[in-house]
Amino acid sequence: MIHDSRIQPLRSGPPAKGKFVLLWVQASARTRDNHALEYAVRQANELGLPLVAVFGLTPDYPEANARHFQYLLEGLRDLRANLTARGIPLSIRLGKPPEIALEAAREGAALVVTDVGYLNIQRAWRDWLKAQLEVPFVQVESEAVIPIHTVSGKLEYAARTIRPKVHRLWQDYLVPLEEHELRAQTGDWEAGLDVGDPVGLVKTLPVDHGVSPGTETGGEDAALERVEEFISIDLARYDTRRNDPNVEGSSRLSAYLHYGHLSPLTVALVAREHGGPGADALIEELIVRRELSFNLCTFNPLYDQYDGLPGWARKTLEEHAGDRRESLYTRQEFDAAQTHDAYWNAAQRQMVQTGRMHNYMRMYWGKKIVEWTPDPRAAYAEMLWLNNRYEQDGRDPNSYAGLGWVLGLHDRPWARRPVFGMVRYMNAGGLKRKFDADAYAARWA
Ligand SMILES: Cc1cc2nc3c(=O)[nH]c(=O)nc-3n(C[C@H](O)[C@H](O)[C@H](O)COP(=O)(O)OP(=O)(O)OC[C@H]3O[C@@H](n4cnc5c(N)ncnc54)[C@H](O)[C@@H]3O)c2cc1C
């Protein structure tokens, strides 16, 4: 089922006399549980037209490097194979995504359908295309379990304010998405880039090669395999083990979700079927926390800037900006994991080497950067640079919510202390109480 609230016409009107319906793929690079794709299939069937898809690959996407591009290309390889199996050819073209979509639409689209990403750049691309197109243009929300404006019409303060709104609605939206067969097909659609060898292709792209690919493989097929493995092995103990970096008991699905290789609906449906405290805890992260991040990016245009943090947090941090710091490190020292703190260095190395820092260490890692930089604005800049450069799931709404949380976003004031003011503080004692932090440090030494 596709709820009407997922579907928003950006340019209305009757379909043009065209040769095909065009799916402009951006945020949802998969075939399973992709509402934009299923909506496009239904439109094509109604019009008796084939459906074709296009993806614009831009080597100058902000902050993206070879690590990110290889993962993206692995996703496009699977997407092409899985769309082809459904009779939908995918054209992958180098260039600015909305310009590529316009070029493809001008080749004979009756109607253009796209998915929805929540970052400013993705919104700007859709706005640009909307102003250029002469045919109807529809966006269909597929990345959120519940469409963002349906959950809330305003910027939410914290998980506690959005949670009841999500809980009121989520059962209505946790419904399987039926796949319809495409009736008319075409072979007449330029393939563009060959993505059969993502590892080879990424080497030829004019992107930042300073960060090597991470240890996880991207793409819809790998994502679905990981879901199966997680559900059968880790879900039952997720609530008790997810915060122990030594056992890796969390889902490790965030990068698949970030690139749209996996739908949160797919995961939530199987988790609900299994039930239990593990499933409840997962749904809290996957729906409540994740949709809180989307809410942030939708209603706060400064979501990726220090100035976008809540006023109380900036005020208290700035009151303590002159407090003495025990240690100060440069970007190069952070980058090379050269601090005096073995736990922090281990977390940094885990991120640099693999592309994934454990969830629990991300909090500690961020809080220490606040302590070891001259002021909160500098702390924000260093965290953002490191997180988005090395995390495979970086540059995501969750990145901005997570980094903001370190500086008080979505949290409340705590007891005042040096450097942090009333923003929550964290120390190594907290790590040691939760898990064997020395074993973690030794593992990543
Ligand atoms: C400083 C800091 C930086 C972070 N940077 C990122 C980032 O760049 N990209 C990113 O995706 N997440 C980020 N997070 C949030 C969280 O740490 C990761 O989503 C999580 O570690 C991913 O691992 P997992 O898939 O095994 O999570 P699981 O625990 O298995 O959770 C399942 C899914 O729920 C969502 N989720 C989990 N925790 C959170 C959270 N706190 N907020 C929002 N959604 C959540 C993710 O989509 C995740 O894949 C950051 C958190 C902090 C404190």
Pocket flag, ligand 1, residue 250 (CB < 6 Å):
yes
Same-domain check for residues 257 and 384: no
Pocket flag, ligand 1, residue 411 (CB < 6 Å):
no
Same-domain check for residues 165 and 247: yes
Pocket flag, ligand 1, residue 391 (CB < 6 Å):
yes
Is 212 contained in some domain? no
Q: How far apart are CA 222 and CA 113, in angstroms?
A: 26
Distance 333 CA to ligand 1 centre (A): 25
Same-domain check for residues 288 and 394: no
Low-confidence ranges of the chain (pLDDT < 70): none
pLDDT tens for each residue of 425-440: 999 999 999 999 999 9
Predicted TM-score (pTM) of the model is 0.98
Domain stop point among 281, 299, 317: 299
Domain stop point among 299, 323, 358: 299
Q: How many domains does the chain have?
A: 3
pLDDT tens for each residue of 31-58: 999 999 999 999 999 999 999 999 999 9
pLDDT at 437: 97
Ligand 1 nearest-atom number relative to CA 405? 53
Is 204 contained in some domain? no
pLDDT at 231: 94
Same-domain check for residues 154 and 136: no
pLDDT at 248: 83
Is 191 contained in some domain? no
Is 195 contained in some domain? no
Same-domain check for residues 133 and 79: yes
Is 12 contained in some domain? yes
Distance 326 CA to ligand 1 centre (A): 29
Domain containing 255: what range? 144-178+220-299
Mean pLDDT of the chain: 97
Is 126 contained in some domain? yes
Same-domain check for residues 249 and 376: no
Token duo for residue 176: 């399987």
Same-domain check for residues 138 and 169: no
pLDDT at 41: 98
Kindly report the CATH number assigned to the domain that includes residue 256.
1.25.40.80
Three-class DSSP labels, 169-231:
HHHHHCCCCCCCCCCECCCCCCCECCCCCHHHHHHHCCCECCCCCCCCCCCHHHHHHHHHHHH
Same-domain check for residues 12 and 159: no
Pocket flag, ligand 1, residue 260 (CB < 6 Å):
no
Pocket flag, ligand 1, residue 242 (CB < 6 Å):
yes
Token duo for residue 191: 């393939």
Kindly report the CATH number assigned to the domain that includes residue 413.
1.10.579.10
Q: How far apart are the first and last CA of the chain?
A: 50
pLDDT at 323: 98
Domain stop point among 278, 299, 320: 299
Same-domain check for residues 256 and 339: no
Q: How far apart are CA 123 and CA 428, in angstroms?
A: 40
Ligand 1 nearest-atom number relative to CA 293? 43
Q: Looking at ligand 1, which residue's alpha carbon is closest to its atom 7?
A: 399
Kindly report the CATH number assigned to the domain that includes residue 68.
3.40.50.620
Pocket flag, ligand 1, residue 350 (CB < 6 Å):
no
Is 295 contained in some domain? yes
Same-domain check for residues 139 and 10: yes
pLDDT at 413: 98
Same-domain check for residues 414 and 315: yes
Is 190 contained in some domain? no
Same-domain check for residues 416 and 273: no
Q: What is the DSSP string of 18-58?
A: -SEEEEE-SS---STT-HHHHHHHHHHHHHT-BEEEEEEE-
